[in-house]
Amino acid sequence: MNILEIGIEQGIERGMQKGEDRLAELLQFLKNAGRHEDADRAIFDPRYREQLYQEYQAAVKR
């Protein structure tokens, strides 16, 4: 494996971790707000999940 391939692999791993962290934060936000049905839907509906990410970001900035 050359240095470019190693860099790409490391970038992919970091991106995956960032995505997992982002989803965990969203699910924690929803759970703390008692929004369990929204959390369940977010797992399976990417469009709805994106709406919730935007809502979460707006709530965090307040």
Is the Cβ–Cβ distance between 49 and 26 less than 8 Å?
yes
The reported pLDDT for the residue numbered 35 is 97
Q: What is the pLDDT of residue 62?
A: 73
Dist. CA 34–CA 27, nearest whole Å: 10
Q: What is the pLDDT of residue 60?
A: 81
Reported pTM: 0.84
26 Cβ partners below 8 Å, 6+ apart? 42, 49, 52, 53, 56
Write out the residue range of the structural domain in which residue 39 sits: 3-61
Q: What is the pLDDT of residue 23?
A: 96
Q: How many domains does the chain have?
A: 1
State residue 59's pLDDT score: 86
Consecutive sets of 10 residues in the chain, 62 residues long: mean pLDDT of each? Answer: 94 96 96 97 97 92 76
